[in-house]
Amino acid sequence: MDSNEIRYLELLSRLFPSAAKASAEIINLNAILRLPKGTELFASDIHGEYDAFVHLLRNGSGSIRLKIDDAFGESITPEEKTELATLIYYPEEKMESILPEIEDVDRWYKVTMLRLVKVCKQSAGKYTRSRVRKALPEDFAYIIEELMTESNLAVVKKPYYNAIIDAVIRTGRSQVLIEAMCMLIKQLSIDHLHIVGDIYDRGPKPDLIMDTLMRFHSLDIQWGNHDIVWMGAALGQRGCIAHVVRNCARYGNLSVLEDAYGINVLPLASFALEAYRDDPCVAFGLKGNPQLPENELEMNIKIQKAMAIIQFKVEAQISDDNPSFGLEGRKLLHRIDYDRGVVELDGVEYELIDKVFPTIDPADPYKLTPEEEEVMRSLERSFRGSEKLQRHMRFFLEVGSLYKISNGTLLFHACAPLNEDGTLKEVDVFGKKYKGKQLYDALDYHIREGFNSEDPEARKRGRDLMLWLWLGEGSPLFAKSKMATFELYLIADKAARKEEKNPFYKLLDDESVIDGIFEDFGMDPATSRIVCGHVPVKVKDGEDPVKCGGKVLCIDGGFSKAYQPTTGIAGFTLISNSYGFVLAAHEPLASLEQAISGEVDIHSSRRVVERVDSRTFVADTDTGTELKAQIADLEKLLEAYRLGLIAESN
Cβ contacts of 260 within 8 Å, gap of 6 or more = 205, 206, 207, 208, 388
Residue 139 — pLDDT band, cuts 50, 70, 90?
confident
Residue 156 — pLDDT band, cuts 50, 70, 90?
low
Amino acid residing at 123: S
- Average pLDDT value for residue range 379-383: 98
Q: At what angle do helices 63-72 and 174-189 cross, to 10 degrees?
A: 110
Predicted confidence at residue 160, as pLDDT, reads 83
Secondary structure in 3-state letters for 514-534:
HHHHHHHCCCCCCCCEEEECC
Task: Name, of 7-11, 159-163, 363-367, the range with top average pLDDT.
Answer: 363-367
Cβ contacts of 276 within 8 Å, gap of 6 or more = 302, 305, 306, 356, 358
Predicted confidence at residue 150, as pLDDT, reads 67
pLDDT tens, 272-310? 999 999 999 999 999 877 788 888 999 999 999 999 999
Alpha carbon 184 to its chain's center? 22
Report the DSSP pairing between strands 219-222 and 409-412. unpaired
Can you give the pTM of this predicted structure?
0.94
CA distance 573 to 570: 10
CA distance 109 to 310: 60
Higher pLDDT, 618 or 130: 618
Angle at 151 (CA atoms; ends 146, 154), nearest 5 degrees = 105
CA distance 262 to 232: 17
Please count the helices (runs of H) and the strands (runs of E) in the chain. Answer: 27, 17
585 phi, psi to nearest 5 deg: -105, 130
Q: Is the pLDDT of residue 149 over 90?
A: no
Residue 637 — pLDDT band, cuts 50, 70, 90?
very high
CA distance 396 to 206: 13
3 state SS of 362: coil
DSSP annotation string for 260-294: IT----HHHHHHHHHHTTT---TT-PPSS-----H
Q: Is the pLDDT of residue 478 over 80?
A: yes
CB 597 within 8 A of CB 97: yes
pLDDT tens, 63-108? 999 999 999 999 999 999 999 999 999 999 999 999 999 999 999 9
CA distance 534 to 169: 50
Cβ contacts of 398 within 8 Å, gap of 6 or more = none
Q: Is the pLDDT of residue 153 over 70?
A: no
pLDDT tens, 583-635? 999 988 877 777 887 787 877 888 888 888 889 999 999 999 999 999 999 99
> Could you tell me the residue ranges of all domains in the chain?
3-35+620-643, 61-189, 225-397+433-485
CB 142 within 8 A of CB 167: no
CA distance 127 to 191: 10
Predicted confidence at residue 155, as pLDDT, reads 54
H or E stretch including 609? strand 604-611
Which of 134-138, 162-166, 372-376 has the lowest average pLDDT?
Answer: 134-138
pLDDT tens, 487-528? 999 999 999 999 999 999 999 999 999 999 999 999 999 999
Predicted confidence at residue 151, as pLDDT, reads 60
CA atoms within 13 A of residue 457's CA, in its CB half-sphere? 3
pLDDT tens, 170-179? 999 999 999 9
CA distance 231 to 221: 13
Residue 147 — pLDDT band, cuts 50, 70, 90?
confident
Beta bridge partners of 76: none
- The conformation of residue 18, written as its DSSP 8-state character, comes to S
Predicted confidence at residue 183, as pLDDT, reads 94
Dihedral of alpha carbons 466, 472, 478, 482, sign: positive
Report the DSSP pairing between strands 400-401 and 403-406. unpaired
Which of 15-24, 154-163, 228-237, 389-398 has the lowest average pLDDT?
Answer: 154-163
